[in-house]
């Protein structure tokens, strides 16, 4: 029995276990949307902008470990997905984006709402398809899901001309996908694993850098076993946060430009570094030529293209992180490394992170630490990009695995709200907090409508400093405090929340913080808190551009001035 192409798409989604789609309709996908009511198992969530659909699918995928799915129409609908697709590509998130295209006779004719979306997304997808026959749809859909979640995860785009949705074909879904040339290496090479174990066993100052690959592979137990057995301290990349519990004695926090001082010093003095599921991003390494100058590096990653791409590896191991650690851990000897751990404790005492500096001013560090106190580290935290993201990474303690969702590689402002929506849809029983910047929040603010439409209990905490804060910080420190295009005259966020039927409150004083957070927790639905924080507060520590990780700014009133950079204004 033949069925329409639109039905083949829906049947394929069911075969892949898809339960939720984020999308926005249009002429090129109207047949697909007309078909959806016949498939009540597929929950469609109407976003207010296609970028929101991609980010929501991204947040859903990160929270659940499943493939996120989004729909968009041709032309501007498809191009509006591009930022979200690029974000998923940079952060290794499995996603399938299904777009409509103009009818086959009009392709290449500059027809109304035509865009070459496969050409546009070629550099930001693992693979993409333009499906010209309905009879190919089932196999393409199966391949798309297989590619998205196999090996190094990432987004795949399937572009379907309008008339292919109408065309009829027999539906046969492949039982198994075999793609010549696409054979990810899942098991590490035994000889390389033995070399890695030997390096670790010989080390006097070993260290682990754990990235997002640990979370993707769900190698939490294996990572902890390695760290505890060899008494190796663990630092995280931004997207590796929540792969190792923050309340563990061996955890040192995040490394990099805004990493903890003791994490950066540990990296700079380690003699062996085991880098697990991370890619040595420039924000993590500082000046590459000065990165970990004393260390020999074991680099474990499922993607061979990441090995030695930025930092040369002494022992490269290609394979799935969980599988590699399961083979590596039995070969690693139990060690104490007491002197090394004492040195790290001394750095902790010398450069503590202060989440509550006190005083009368409302500081974002304090707000985030109080959100942690209220949630006990059990919530899923979703951030946008900027100062609030770094304060969250430094001052929220992630005890629960996979509890941070943030835009890392692309650094996408506006990610927080739609991604939090996706996370809540995927994990309805979990507490979800979106920690937002007042600049980024306005980029996708229209997605507030989804919270009331879908009755989603997402809590939003806006760090409102009336600036594009991270750019302002750079202008202060490196551009003579010339604040060009960074001051914001923001709206009344609470009034906007009320307009969408969402409860909220404004906080301007320290003593209001805890009651407001409790009010949000007690509210049975979504709640927005507009925290009016200190406008010119900076994120510290900070590794200046061109510096090594050991050359960080700690105390702005002493060290920054000593280095010749402008003094911050004191309110």
**pLDDT surpassing 70 at residue 568:** no
Give the DSSP H or E segment for 447.
none
**What is the C-alpha to C-alpha distance for residues 264 and 345, in angstroms, rounded to an integer?**
13
Tokens matching residue 106: 């009009």
Taking only the tens place, the pLDDT of each residue in 103-127 is 999 999 999 999 999 999 999 999 9
Taking only the tens place, the pLDDT of each residue in 132-186 is 999 999 999 999 999 999 999 999 999 999 999 999 999 999 999 999 989 999 9
Cα–Cα–Cα angle for 404, 406, 407, nearest 5°?
160
Q: What is the pLDDT of residue 443?
A: 98
Q: What is the pLDDT of residue 555?
A: 61
Q: What is the pLDDT of residue 14?
A: 98
- Four-point Cα dihedral 413, 418, 420, 424, nearest 10: -170
At residue 556 the predicted structure's pLDDT band, cuts being 50, 70 and 90, is: low
At residue 558 the predicted structure's pLDDT band, cuts being 50, 70 and 90, is: very low
At residue 409 the predicted structure's pLDDT band, cuts being 50, 70 and 90, is: very high
Length of the chain (residues): 571
Give the DSSP H or E segment for 434.
strand 432-437
Q: What is the pLDDT of residue 143?
A: 98
Contact between 271 and 203 under an 8 Å Cβ cutoff? The reply is: yes
Quick one: which of 270, 152, 149 has its CA closest to 209? 270
Query: Residue 169's Cα: distance from chain center in Å?
Result: 39
Burial class (CB in 10 A: 0-12, 13-18, 19+), 180: exposed
- Can you tell me which residue has the tokens 């777009």? 99
- 2-170 with 364-540: one CATH topology? yes
Return the exposure string of 380-419: e unless at least 16 CB atoms fall within 10 Å of the residue's CB, then b.
bbbbbbbbbbbbbbbbbbbbbebbbbbbbbbbbbbbbbbb
Query: Residue 88's Cα: distance from chain center in Å?
Result: 8
Say whether the peptide bond before residue 541 is cis (omega within 30 degrees of 0): yes
Taking only the tens place, the pLDDT of each residue in 186-226 is 999 999 999 999 999 999 999 999 999 999 999 999 999 99
Q: What is the mean pLDDT of the chain?
A: 95
**What is the C-alpha to C-alpha distance for residues 527 and 451, in angstroms, rounded to an integer?**
10
Quick one: which of 290, 135, 152 has its CA closest to 212? 152
Q: What is the pLDDT of residue 400?
A: 96
**pLDDT surpassing 60 at residue 566:** no
At residue 360 the predicted structure's pLDDT band, cuts being 50, 70 and 90, is: confident
- Label the pairing between strands 527-532 and 458-464: parallel
**What is the C-alpha to C-alpha distance for residues 393 and 383, in angstroms, rounded to an integer?**
9
**Sheet containing 68-72: which strands, arranged edge to edge?**
43-46, 20-23, 68-72, 95-101, 155-161, 127-130
- Secondary structure class of 98 (helix, strand, coil): strand
At residue 559 the predicted structure's pLDDT band, cuts being 50, 70 and 90, is: very low
> What sign for the dihedral angle of Cα 283, 284, 287, 289?
negative
Q: What is the rounded average pLDDT of the residues 312-319?
A: 98
Q: What is the pLDDT of residue 562?
A: 35
Query: Residue 191's Cα: distance from chain center in Å?
Result: 33
Specify whether domain 190-350 bears CATH 3.20.20.70: no
Question: How crowded is residue 281: how many other Cβ atoms within 10 Å of its Cβ?
Answer: 17
Query: Residue 75's Cα: distance from chain center in Å?
Result: 27
Please tell me the class of the 2-170 domain. Answer: alpha beta
Contact between 364 and 407 under an 8 Å Cβ cutoff? The reply is: no
pTM higher than 0.75 for the full model?
yes
Q: What is the pLDDT of residue 358?
A: 75
Burial class (CB in 10 A: 0-12, 13-18, 19+), 289: exposed
- Can you tell me which residue has the tokens 């929501």? 56
Q: What is the rounded average pLDDT of the residues 339-351?
A: 97
Taking only the tens place, the pLDDT of each residue in 64-100 is 999 999 999 999 999 999 999 999 999 999 999 999 9
Q: What is the pLDDT of residue 384?
A: 98
- Can you tell me which residue has the tokens 């996370």? 423
**pLDDT surpassing 70 at residue 389:** yes
Contact between 405 and 380 under an 8 Å Cβ cutoff? The reply is: yes
Cα–Cα–Cα angle for 51, 159, 155, nearest 5°?
55
How many helices (DSSP H) and strands (DSSP E) are in the chain?
Answer: 24, 20
Q: What is the pLDDT of residue 1?
A: 85
- Label the pairing between strands 2-4 and 168-170: antiparallel
- CB-based contacts of 185: which residues, under 8 Å, 6+ apart? 302, 304, 318, 319
Tell me the CATH number of domain 364-540, given options 3.30.70.600, 3.30.70.20, 3.40.50.970, 3.60.70.12.
Answer: 3.40.50.970
Minimum mean pLDDT among 82-96, 165-179, 492-506, 553-567: which range? 553-567
At residue 484 the predicted structure's pLDDT band, cuts being 50, 70 and 90, is: very high
At residue 569 the predicted structure's pLDDT band, cuts being 50, 70 and 90, is: very low
Euclidean distance between the first and the last CA atom of the chain, given in angstroms as a whole number: 74
- Label the pairing between strands 432-437 and 404-405: unpaired
Per domain, the residue ranges of the chain are: 2-170, 190-350, 364-540
Cα–Cα–Cα angle for 385, 388, 393, nearest 5°?
90
Contact between 101 and 74 under an 8 Å Cβ cutoff? The reply is: yes
Choice between 229 and 554, residue whose per-residue pLDDT is larger: 229
| pLDDT over 70 percentage in the chain | 97
């Amino acid at each position: 029995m033949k069925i329409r192409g639109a039905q083949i798409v829906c049947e394929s989604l069911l075969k892949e276990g898809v339960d939720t789609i984020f999308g926005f309709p249009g002429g090129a996908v109207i047949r697909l949307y007309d078909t959806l009511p016949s498939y009540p198992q597929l929950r469609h969530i109407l976003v207010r902008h296609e970028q929101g659909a991609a980010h929501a699918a991204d947040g859903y995928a990160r929270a659940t470990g499943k493939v996120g799915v989004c729909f968009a129409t041709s032309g501007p609908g498809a191009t509006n997905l591009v930022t979200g697709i690029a974000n998923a590509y940079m952060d290794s998130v499995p996603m399938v984006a299904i777009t409509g295209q103009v009818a086959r006779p009009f392709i290449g004719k500059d027809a109304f709402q035509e865009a070459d979306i496969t050409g546009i997304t070629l550099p930001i997808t693992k693979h993409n398809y333009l499906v010209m026959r309905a009879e190919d749809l089932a196999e393409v859909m199966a391949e798309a899901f297989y590619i998205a979640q196999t090996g190094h995860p990432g987004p795949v785009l399937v572009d379907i001309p309008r008339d292919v949705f109408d065309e009829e074909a027999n539906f046969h879904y492949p039982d198994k996908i075999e793609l010549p040339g696409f054979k990810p290496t899942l098991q590490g090479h035994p000889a390389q694993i033995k070399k890695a174990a030997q390096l670790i066993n010989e080390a006097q100052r070993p260290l682990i850098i754990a990235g997002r690959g640990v979370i993707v592979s769900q190698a939490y137990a294996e990572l902890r076993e390695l760290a505890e057995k060899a008494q190796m301290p663990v630092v995280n990349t931004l997207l590796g946060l929540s792969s190792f519990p923050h309340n563990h004695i061996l955890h040192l926090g995040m490394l990099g430009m805004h990493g903890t001082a003791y994490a950066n010093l540990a990296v700079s003095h380690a003699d062996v570094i085991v880098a697990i599921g991370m890619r040595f991003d420039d924000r993590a390494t500082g000046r590459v030529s000065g990165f970990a100058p004393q260390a020999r590096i074991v680099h474990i990653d499922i993607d061979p293209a990441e090995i030695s791409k930025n930092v040369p590896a002494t022992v490269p191991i290609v394979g799935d992180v969980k599988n590699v650690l399961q083979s590596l851990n039995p070969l690693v000897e139990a060690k104490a490394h007491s002197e090394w751990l004492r040195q790290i404790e001394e750095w902790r005492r010398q450069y503590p992170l202060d989440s509550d500096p006190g005083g009368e001013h409302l500081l974002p560090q304090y707000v985030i630490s109080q959100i942690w106190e209220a949630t006990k580290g059990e919530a899923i935290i979703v951030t946008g990009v900027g100062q609030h993201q770094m304060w969250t990474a430094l001052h929220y303690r992630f005890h629960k695995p996979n509890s941070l969702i943030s835009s890392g590689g692309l650094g996408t402002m506006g990610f927080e709200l739609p991604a939090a929506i996706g996370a809540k849809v995927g994990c309805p029983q979990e507490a979800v907090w979106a920690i937002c910047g007042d600049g980024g929040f306005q980029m996708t603010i229209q997605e507030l409508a989804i919270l009331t439409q879908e009755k989603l209990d997402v809590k939003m905490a806006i760090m409102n400093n009336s600036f594009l804060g991270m750019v302002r910080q750079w202008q202060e420190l490196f551009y003579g405090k010339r604040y060009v295009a960074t001051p914001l005259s923001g709206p009344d966020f609470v009034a906007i929340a009320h307009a969408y039927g969402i409860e909220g409150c404004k906080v301007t004083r320290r003593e209001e913080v805890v009651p407001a957070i409790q009010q949000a927790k007690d509210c049975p639905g979504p709640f927005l808190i507009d925290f009016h924080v200190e406008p010119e507060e900076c994120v510290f520590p900070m590794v200046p551009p061109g510096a090594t990780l050991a050359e960080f700014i700690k105390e702005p009133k002493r060290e920054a001035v000593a280095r010749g950079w402008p003094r911050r204004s004191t309110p």
